[in-house]
Each structure stands twice: as structure tokens, then as C-alpha cells.
Structure 1
């Protein structure tokens, strides 16, 4: 049976679920994360709930079938059934690893109280963080054990390309694809990731357990 991680790894290589209007239901990779991924004309619901319940609930949503998995009525039903929380539907981007040295000087920090680092530790495992002059780069393992990146640039040094340099650096620090979740309304961030070579591959709605400290040490992917 194909796992959530299998689907993500394939998408990182440019191999996507069939554009057949269908929905694939797979188990969660761990207790912490459930949710929905939307690719072109195909959705993936990752949950430990009964797949039959998922399909019946989707069929009851009054909208285009292609839109049903990301429709607020379905997401609300899934939230109510699981007792989880969510924030927004994000654009999902991925960048392949790059050779060479990072284009900006970085210093790894072991412990930091920066809000971006604190936030990452609530939704990712194996979190690492680096600081640059005017910014912070954070990476950790999130959905399905994939490697995820986020950055923050200080207000006083914005509009100078530092965000693009930081997300480029992320691709040079690792030997596997790097994923990013960006709110569609955050056009500045989207432009930075795309300028750094990250490809938009779909959208996602992450449903988090209320106990945000619950990690994915029992990953099943």
C-alpha cells in the first residue's frame, strides 16, 4: 500500500497522483499530523479515520467534486470528528538539493527563543536553526517525515533579497528535497521561494493535534 511519504517523495520527483478527479485516503504517518493535500485533479487525505466516512462526507459536500477535499465544509467535518485544529490552506512548494556553499553567512544555533523557531518546534521534529545578519532559517521534519523549511527576515532588512538567499541556502545544506508551506496571500514569500527555484506542486491543509508537543517519534511512514 502506498504511504503518505511515498506520495510526497514521488511529488518531489515530479511524479504526481493521476489527474482523475479522485481522492486517495492513506493513514497518518504519525499521531500528530493529519490533513489534506491537493494536487492537480487529485487529492490525498491522510487520516486514521474510517476511509468510508471520508468518502461519504466528501460526496455530501455541495460543490464541484474536484474542490470538495479542500472545501470548508469537509475540512470542518474532519476537524470536528478528530478534535484537531488548523490554521490555513497553504501552497506547497519543493526544492531539490543544490551543490555549493550557501550564498549567505550562516551560524547554527543550538537553542533559540525566536518565534519562528518556537513555532517550528511545535509542528516539526529534529528542528535545526541558523541565523544570518537580519534573518533566521529553520528546518525540521514535518508531514510524513519530509524536510520542511521556514525563514524570517527582520523588518529593517526586507526587500533586499535576504529571504531568497536564506531559502536557497536551505537547499545547499541538505542532500534531500526541501519542502515549504506558504500562505497564498503571502505573495512576498511565494516570490522568494520561486526565485530560489522551489516549484509549486499543490496545496495542503494541516490538521494538528491539540497537544502541539506531540511529536512523530512513532512514525509509520
Structure 2
């Protein structure tokens, strides 16, 4: 399905972003972001599981099956700078109330291209759901695979709009040794396609590890989970 027309909130100009959420994500992975026109584009949910908000530079994308007119009307009523309205607590609360969903946090969204060659780490694939990071991923992603190394776990899976997503966990005793960066670098060698990461902005160690491994920030994301 195609995207709805993006109507700038609180402005006079209009912008149009066409395509599905996956189209928008693929373009962002290639370095082509939505126009910085102050607009908000509403697109259908890519799946019943995934709904939420993406905030790029001066342009937002709301992916929901709710009426786009309701989204625009609600955003116009938010008493804040229109450029930040989609990530305002008032709008996110209204969207959660409207959809019956919950939201955990607003993440920084980063992406990196695949790297050639094999991972330098001696990874062992994990097949059981015992690790909490693996269980968490399987509740939110499809085709989840996980690998372990002494002191850390690496998880890949298909999340929002089928994009390939990575998460890692490093044991307390193995931190500040470069293992996090090594794990997310290894993920790029396993991926074969653009690889996405959602990182809480306050998790400075994780943000630094991803950036040191070549992941670039493209925006912010608030996912709404089914209750």
C-alpha cells in the first residue's frame, strides 16, 4: 500500500512522501531521508504487530492503521513546536489510548551496511531461548538467530517492516574491553544487507559502541507494542 499524503503540521506547505514504510526505511539506509519540510507522513502498519513513530530531521512518519485525519488533528492540538509534536508525550499517550498499545522508550535509530568477510570473533550459535536477550527478541522479531561469545551475546532478527535488526548484551565483567564494538561489527559481517539498531539514547556505552563500529544515526523511533 502507498503512503498517505504528508501534511505539514502547523505549516502552510504540503509535502508528499510515497511508498510503504519499508520503502522509506530502505531509502534511509541508502542515505536518502524524507524531506526536511516539517511534515508528517502517515503510512499503514507493515504488520499487525508493528505500529509507532519515526522521527527524521524535520519530518516524521507515523505507521498506524488508525485514520490519518485523526493523527493530523491530534498533532495540531499538541501545544509544542510542530517539529517535535510526534514525539511529544501527549501525542504518544493519545496514540496508545487510541490503539490500546503500550510504549517502552524512544530509541535512537541507527543503520549500517554489511561488511565482507567472516566475523573475527569466535561465535557459537545459540539454539535455546534461555538468555533473556534472546527471549526478548523472539517476542518482537521474526527469524531470530543468536550467537554467544565469552562475555557477550549477539542477536539478529527481522523487526519493523521486515528490516534486519541487531541487539547485543555484554556481561558486566566483560565491559570496557571493546567487546560491544566487536559484537556489533561481527553482526555487519553476518548480515548481508543493511542492519538496523535501536538504542536508548541514555545508554551511552551502547551508542558509542555502535557508532565506533560504523553505524550511523538516522532518526528516533517510538514503537507501540500490543498489550
TM interval, short-chain normalised:
over 0.9
Verify: 1:100 aligned to 2:117, yes or no.
Answer: yes
TM-score normalised by length of structure 2: 0.92
Deviations 1:165-190 (A, max 9, x none): 00000000021001000000000000
Deviations 1:54-76 (A, max 9, x none): 00000000000000000000000
2:213 matched residue in structure 1: 196
Map of 1:36-115 to 2, 5 A cutoff?
36-115=53-132
1:82 is displaced (CA, Å) by 0.3
User: What is the Cα deviation at residue 103 of structure 1?
Assistant: 2.1
Structure 1 residue ranges, 4+ long, deviating more than 6 angstroms after superposition: none
Aligned to 1:32: 49
Q: Output the CA distance in 1 between the equivalents of 2:149 and 2:117.
A: 18
Q: Once the two structures are superposed, what CA deviation does each residue of 1:144-175 show, in whole Å capped at 9, x if it has no partner? A: 11000000011111100000000000000021
Shift of residue 137 of structure 1?
0.2
Root mean square deviation, CA, Å: 0.6
SS at match of 2:191: coil
Matched, 1:117 2:134: yes
Q: Higher relative CO (CA 8 A, sep ≥ 6), structure 1 or 2? A: 1
Question: Take 2:221 and 2:40, find their aligned partners in 1: how far apart are those partners?
Answer: 14
Give the structure 1 partner of residue 10 of structure 2. none
The residue aligned with 2:154 is 137
The residue number in structure 2 matching 1:151 is: 168
* Aligned counterpart for 1:15 among listed residues 25, 32, 48: 32
Contiguous gaps of at least 5 residues in structure 1 = 211-221
1:29-84 superposed Cα distances (whole Å, 9 cap, x missing partner): 00011000000000000000000000000000000000000000000000000000
Q: How many residues align?
A: 210
